[in-house]
Structure 1
Amino acid sequence: MGKRIFNRKKDKDFEETISTRQYKGIPNIIIMSISVLFSLVFLYTSQFGVMAPLAQGSMLLIFTLLLIFLLFPGLKTDRKWTKILDILFAILGAVAFFRVFLTHEELVARGGQPELADLILGGVAIVLLIEAIRRTIGWALPILIIIFLIYAFAGPYFPGLLQHAGMSYERTIQVIYLTTEGIFTTPVKAVANFVLVFIILGSVLQSSGTGKVFIDLSMSIFGFFRGGSAKVAVIASSLFGSVSGSAVSNVMGTGTITIPLMKANGFKGRSAGAIEAVASTGGQIMPPVMGAVAFVMAEMLGVSYLAVVISAIIPSILYYVSLFFMVDLEAAKLGMKGLPKSELPKFGDVMKNGGHLLIPILVLIFLMSVVHFSPQKSAFWTIIVAMIVPQLRRSTRVSFKTLMLSLKDSAVNVLIVAAVCAGAGIIIAVMLYTGLALNISSLIVQLSGGTLSILLILTAVASLILGMGLPTTAAYIVLAVLIAPTLSQMGVDPMAAHMFVLYFGVISAITPPVAVAAFAGASLAKSNPIQTGVTSFRFGAAGFIVPFMFIYGPELLLIDGSITDIFLTLVFSIVGIFGIAVTLQGYLFNFMNIIERLLMFISSILLIIPETLSSVLGISLFIIIVTLHYIKTKHKKVAATDQELTIDS
């Protein structure tokens, strides 16, 4: 069949990707054909109309299970019998979901009532889906799904709030496999309707060299500033991360260039890996694509995709502003200077040689915001443009083979997201039909004592823990069902509640002990993964305050307040974040003592609180601290100069 290729990183402490098989000859042609067909089917539906939910979702999972079992071995030792077994699993998985595709109209007519074939194939589908998830992301989510399935059957034996009447096997199969309330619920619907087509777009853009243009433009603008290489990483990763769909893939995509640059500029390996990890992680909350999670959130909230993107704009900017401040102060502490202009690409040359590759991004924004095309239709036409534009210049032309490989890569890249979303649908169904979701919300509210600030802290911690090790989309789905309702019960706007849990679910990727994005950065920086994880937490710490800011100041989500209120809140927020960064770094014009740092922290908290009096007090204290610290630093420099002159004389 083909030999097994390991994609594991050289660092023993980091194992992000599970090995995949590489095929040659006819088997390779078969895999290529299935993958390209997968992408083309959903490109077609994005333009000419999606099928019924059960049909669209089952078609997605037919291809997903087929490819996962053919590409991802189940054991470390991939032998002939395991390959034969995987072919059998691939066929069984495809058949199980093909039945749903064939009978979707009949299923709706009979309300999902199962027949004997449904009961058999439904069980097969659930078991194979759990195994597919295990092969792609490891044991964490499969164990969680199994626990929830046990809970569904054993409800009467649980105590207190956890007790419920229990679900029969027939009822479980009906809800999970034969209706749109289980496997085929909102997450899979979002992947089938939106996510895959945007993953195709990202793959096509990457193959055309657009990612390199992002990096070169960032270097031409920020490269000559102090710590310029790190600022390039921040900007380039924010641009690339928005369309990559994964914090780790973003690290591996841009980090191969930016991390060596940072190390050459004087950053330690762990700092370089951490900065890239924090920057790449933020791409998951950066519009317009937001790592594809925006589409899932829109479906979960029942709002338009554009509404989600608009609300995410300011929080994502604040996240990167906080990182930018942290990087700049780190460079100042280390006495760094920018890269020589002679070593940097020129903005004009970059735009002249590769600026046309940015046209598809502009087309996407135009189609969604001006023409008001649906997201999937906008992506379809942007993909067409992205395939044509590189052909305009000989230096950027892309071969037909490369385009086909982009379609194949897109299909492979969506496998994890599709499988995880289908698995999350099982959890959602169990939680809703057993009443667990409501009980968990009530329990967290009780623990908070009805105090919003305590509830937010509990929610943030729970989101960080539940999000650890999970892909962005999976983390959000779990948190949206388990945690977000608790905030809504306390009167928090639903958009703010979902953004809050998404934010902490995303930054769990840079939070030890399971800081997967930081571990990816460590593998490229050749640094200790644990130290890199701790350092990434420090660089991202200023951004951890942002979700609290938009809960108390919904103006930051652009869902409330006048233009004046939004502007003032944004300005005070930026100053407050700067103060937090200064506090964490202990440096402004020079190193600060503990009292100065404490006062700066107090001023920052006052600025972040969206009250007029606290903002006035905060900005006043901020100005006083900055002025006094500047004067003290200037006097120290004068004294040092006088001492040098005295010694010389």
Structure 2
Amino acid sequence: MDAYRRICPGIVTALALGFSLFELYTVGFGILSPFAQRATMLAFASVLVFLTRPMLDWRDREEMAPSARAFSIGWDALFIGLALYSCIYLIVEEDALADRSGVETTIDLIVAGLGPVMLLEMVRRAVGVPLFIVTLCIVIYSYLGDVTLIFFSCLLIFAALKRYAGLKIALGFAALALLFFLLPGRGFLDPGLYPFKGEEHSRLAAYLWLTSEGTFGTISAIMSEFIFIFILFSALLEATGTGQILINLAFALTGRFRGGPAQAAVVASSMFGMVSGSTMANVVSTGTFTIPLMIRTGFSRLFAGAVEAVASCGGQIVPPIMGASVFIMSEIIEVPYIYLMLYGLIPAFLYYFSLSTSIYFEARRLGLERMDKSEIPDAREQVRQGGYLLIPVLILLASIVSGETPGLAGYKAVVSLLVMVDLVRSLRFIRTRWGNRGVCLAGALILAAIFFAFGPVSAPAAITQSIPLPILGEAPLHRLALVLLGILFAVVPGWRGLPIVFPAALGLARWKIPAELDWIGQIPFVGLLLPAALFLLVVYLIALAVFREGETPEAKASARDLGGAVLKSLEAGARNSLGLVAATSAIGLIVGLLVLAALGVRISILVTEMAATSLFLAFFLVMIASLVMGMGLPTIAAYLLLVIVVAPSVTSLGAPLVAAHFFIFYFGVISSITPPVALAAYGASGISGANPMQTGFTACRLALSAFIVPYLFVYYPELLLLEGTFWTVAYRLAVSCAGIALLSMATMGFGRAPMSNALRTVMTGASLLLFLGPAWLHILGLAAGVAVLFRQKAGGGTAT
């Protein structure tokens, strides 16, 4: 047992590093065949899940009898074996499975039956019980048919009767229900009662595991081909200190305002959250700094935790990256990413405007002052020290705007981040003959542009496109690039420049090898890396000739620290992806089942019939479904599940496609703060020390205006920039901001002074008039709000 416990962490680290490197390599140099790519991803993730989330915790195992301890280890080993066998079988038999589709062998069906069982256990451990139950119920429904609905309804009634009427009455109901189930010919099992009678088990298993329509379908492809790379990018940003730079910048920008620490949480979370893709990661990363400072400034623990929870949720809807969910939306509705980024600008602004105004009026209500100047970081110093860390984000955006796939753009961002961090580290210890760091920095920027701004084209073409000096011609530009590279490496003394070779090789390896060396390309990996290695070797030998002094102990320590941080971030990226891989695989399985049983269509028809012709009622039902189904799920998984189930119901009633998807995505994000689950509130309360449930309710009160924003852009598409002129968009934005400000005063109970309940009611009504109706209602609502503010005495007591 002790040996197993010692070896296990090393195995986990090795697998996590291998997982990240596999994804980085395949995204950068070419995706494998569909089954090979997706099954390899699931194999890595499932084994890591069963190793890092064992059946029993180590402390529990130590207290158990040896036989029980051996059983728990054996149980985990069984699922690890199932994961490896069911995934590797698909990779090895990929072509054969395609040939015998519809006539699967016995071993095919055994694998197809064991695979979903393994996946369900993986989901239970990595994501939680809610998604496990949803997936299991849909699997059972697909096998048994509509009779499952009667069965589950009886279970719910039995549970309710047992709790509220007693066990005897519940058992009586169970006996009666069983009688109806078993009644021959006319009971609940009568096949004629149900339109959908279930699928034959062999066809169901093969469809879910052996085809690209189930577990290994489009959603799994999206996860493998570009979502993982953004998770890895987020881990690297955190490891390189980008998160701390963003937090310091946020304090520098907002520290002089009333409620500065809370406003800093808003700014920092919006910037960090758009990349992280995880609300909980955002809460932990920024809340560790912002929540204690909010409490020290004078905010209550409850309010501080709620602010961080709401701010961290909103990071997922902030362009340009929007937590990577926007790329999935682009794939599903076939709208270019650049348009979706623009569509998301105003909704994100309104979300954070509502939170910021609530914070401002709460700070005024408490009489809080501004932060002390000594606590406010200098913005220019922060940009000088860490501004280069934002360059990879700009490279990411430039790559996407230029038409690159999200996966390749994310790959370039990851590699450019490694290059920039390594170059800046080396520059701190640099000794040049001219003593000019600017020369080195210019060379680094040109190198980054050559490597990462364009796709896999030949070296001369890449340089010609990258450097705006057409007067020199193609050949001189090629030589110029070699000279610049030589200078770059030459000015980095000793072996401290060597780490630059490796991330640089990742970029250079995308360049094609000469035609006369095509035979080298037949050798796996070597054909890609050899030309880069030869090129860098020549440059590095030239650099060695002009070195002036050896490596210092400080440089060696810096290199070790950087290497350790990169390895830890690669491991963290793999670990952070486990829950999402499990969730997207399960949702892929659900998609296949919904298509097979036509359940998605039936749910859409049901919602449409319930809403009749009322678009508002349809969206209200979708909001409830989004808040309930999104609880406890990662944002991307919640959006995918909701799109499958509820999106068709609102688009069928005439809602714009983009508005419907933004509406679903928006409420899928907000579900992280809605009780009873409220994952973001639980994460924030762990830092603030407040009650998690009360933190969730306070977060909902803070975000009350944010709950209205989705309805605004559904009914007024100009807020999504889908229609209208500049003036109509500006007018609608101004009216919405005014309504949000009045509603924030009402919810916080403070305008120019504390408000009575009557005035808060008037303010709420005034805000609703601004949200709804024609211009004359806007004037009436604005007049009512202004009248309340004039009635109050500035700084005085409660106005009645």
What TM-score, normalized to structure 1?
Answer: 0.90
Quote the residue 1:643 is aligned against: none
* C-alpha distance after superposition, 1:518-559 (max 9, x if no partner): 011111111111211111111111100011011101222223
Does the C-alpha gap of structure 1 residues 570 and 408 become closer, same or farther in structure 2, counting only changes over 3 Å? same
**Cα distance in 1 for residues equivalent to 2:95 and 2:721:** 41
Quote the residue 2:129 is aligned against: 139
**Given that residues 230 and 276 in structure 2 are in contact (C-alpha distance below 8 angstroms), is that contact kept between their aligned partners in structure 1?**
no
Quote the residue 2:207 is aligned against: 175
* C-alpha distance after superposition, 1:209-234 (max 9, x if no partner): 00000000000110121110000011
Quote the residue 1:630 is aligned against: 790
1:462 is paired with a residue whose SS is: helix
Quote the residue 1:99 is aligned against: 89
Letter paired with 2:583: V
**Given that residues 596 and 625 in structure 1 are in contact (C-alpha distance below 8 angstroms), is that contact kept between their aligned partners in structure 2?**
no
**Given that residues 96 and 124 in structure 1 are in contact (C-alpha distance below 8 angstroms), is that contact kept between their aligned partners in structure 2?**
yes
Within the candidate set 462, 466, 469, 2:629 is matched to 466
CA root-mean-square deviation: 2.3
Q: CA deviation at 1:111?
A: 4.2
Within the candidate set 620, 639, 646, 1:483 is matched to 646
Q: Which runs of 5+ in 1 are unaligned?
A: 4-21, 640-649
Within the candidate set 228, 233, 253, 1:201 is matched to 233
**Cα distance in 2 for residues equivalent to 1:628 and 1:37:** 63
Quote the residue 1:16 is aligned against: none
**Cα distance in 1 for residues equivalent to 2:84 and 2:387:** 43
**Cα distance in 2 for residues equivalent to 1:181 and 1:504:** 27
**Given that residues 200 and 410 in structure 1 are in contact (C-alpha distance below 8 angstroms), is that contact kept between their aligned partners in structure 2?**
yes
**Given that residues 186 and 296 in structure 1 are in contact (C-alpha distance below 8 angstroms), is that contact kept between their aligned partners in structure 2?**
no
1:336 is paired with a residue whose SS is: coil
Within the candidate set 359, 367, 375, 2:406 is matched to 375
**Cα distance in 2 for residues equivalent to 1:451 and 1:56:** 44
**Cα distance in 1 for residues equivalent to 2:421 and 2:2:** 34
Would you say 1:389 and 2:420 are equivalent positions? yes
Quote the residue 1:268 is aligned against: 300
Letter paired with 1:399: L
Quote the residue 1:6 is aligned against: none
Does the C-alpha gap of structure 1 residues 391 and 340 become closer, same or farther in structure 2, counting only changes over 3 Å? same
**Cα distance in 1 for residues equivalent to 2:193 and 2:707:** 32
2:703 is paired with a residue whose SS is: helix
* C-alpha distance after superposition, 1:241-291 (max 9, x if no partner): 112221112111111111101000101111111110111111122223322
In the TM superposition, 1:287-326 aligns within 5 A as 287-326=319-358
Within the candidate set 11, 16, 26, 1:45 is matched to 26
Q: CA deviation at 1:560?
A: 2.6
* C-alpha distance after superposition, 1:84-128 (max 9, x if no partner): 432332132122012222233343444465322221111111001
In the TM superposition, 1:516-555 aligns within 5 A as 516-555=679-718
Letter paired with 2:777: L
Would you say 1:57 and 2:38 are equivalent positions? yes
Task: Report the identity percentage.
Answer: 36
Within the candidate set 237, 251, 268, 2:269 is matched to 237
**Given that residues 261 and 297 in structure 2 are in contact (C-alpha distance below 8 angstroms), is that contact kept between their aligned partners in structure 1?**
yes
Quote the residue 1:418 is aligned against: 581
**Cα distance in 1 for residues equivalent to 2:734 and 2:93:** 56
Q: Which runs of 5+ in 2 are unaligned?
A: 62-68, 151-191, 429-557
Moved more, 628-637 or 524-533: 628-637
In the TM superposition, 1:7-156 aligns within 5 A as 24=6, 26-76=7-57, 77-78=60-61, 79-111=69-101, 113-155=103-145
Q: CA deviation at 1:631?
A: 5.4
* C-alpha distance after superposition, 1:353-382 (max 9, x if no partner): 22222221122122222x322211111111
* C-alpha distance after superposition, 1:140-176 (max 9, x if no partner): 1111111111111111535799740311111111221
Quote the residue 2:499 is aligned against: none
**Given that residues 107 and 113 in structure 1 are in contact (C-alpha distance below 8 angstroms), is that contact kept between their aligned partners in structure 2?**
no
Moved more, 306-315 or 277-286: 306-315
**Cα distance in 1 for residues equivalent to 2:727 and 2:223:** 38
**Cα distance in 2 for residues equivalent to 1:526 and 1:127:** 39
Would you say 1:402 and 2:568 are equivalent positions? no
**Cα distance in 2 for residues equivalent to 1:107 and 1:308:** 38
Letter paired with 1:264: R
**Cα distance in 1 for residues equivalent to 2:677 and 2:52:** 26
**Cα distance in 2 for residues equivalent to 1:335 and 1:622:** 26
Does the C-alpha gap of structure 1 residues 506 and 563 become closer, same or farther in structure 2, counting only changes over 3 Å? same
Moved more, 254-263 or 279-288: 279-288
Does the C-alpha gap of structure 1 residues 634 and 253 become closer, same or farther in structure 2, counting only changes over 3 Å? closer
Letter paired with 1:229: P
**Cα distance in 1 for residues equivalent to 2:307 and 2:392:** 28
**Given that residues 608 and 615 in structure 1 are in contact (C-alpha distance below 8 angstroms), is that contact kept between their aligned partners in structure 2?**
no
**Cα distance in 1 for residues equivalent to 2:369 and 2:56:** 50
Quote the residue 2:770 is aligned against: 607
**Cα distance in 1 for residues equivalent to 2:102 and 2:243:** 46
**Given that residues 126 and 579 in structure 2 are in contact (C-alpha distance below 8 angstroms), is that contact kept between their aligned partners in structure 1?**
yes
Quote the residue 1:645 is aligned against: none
**Cα distance in 1 for residues equivalent to 2:368 and 2:739:** 25
Moved more, 425-434 or 203-212: 425-434
Quote the residue 1:598 is aligned against: 761
**Cα distance in 1 for residues equivalent to 2:673 and 2:571:** 30
Q: Which of 1 and 2 has greater Rg?
A: 2
**Given that residues 753 and 792 in structure 2 are in contact (C-alpha distance below 8 angstroms), is that contact kept between their aligned partners in structure 1?**
no
**Cα distance in 1 for residues equivalent to 2:31 and 2:563:** 27
What TM-score, normalized to structure 2?
Answer: 0.73
**Cα distance in 2 for residues equivalent to 1:634 and 1:27:** 65
* C-alpha distance after superposition, 1:47-68 (max 9, x if no partner): 2232333332112111111211
**Given that residues 753 and 794 in structure 2 are in contact (C-alpha distance below 8 angstroms), is that contact kept between their aligned partners in structure 1?**
no
Does the C-alpha gap of structure 1 residues 517 and 628 become closer, same or farther in structure 2, counting only changes over 3 Å? closer
Q: CA deviation at 1:438?
A: 1.2
**Given that residues 769 and 780 in structure 2 are in contact (C-alpha distance below 8 angstroms), is that contact kept between their aligned partners in structure 1?**
no
2:344 is paired with a residue whose SS is: helix
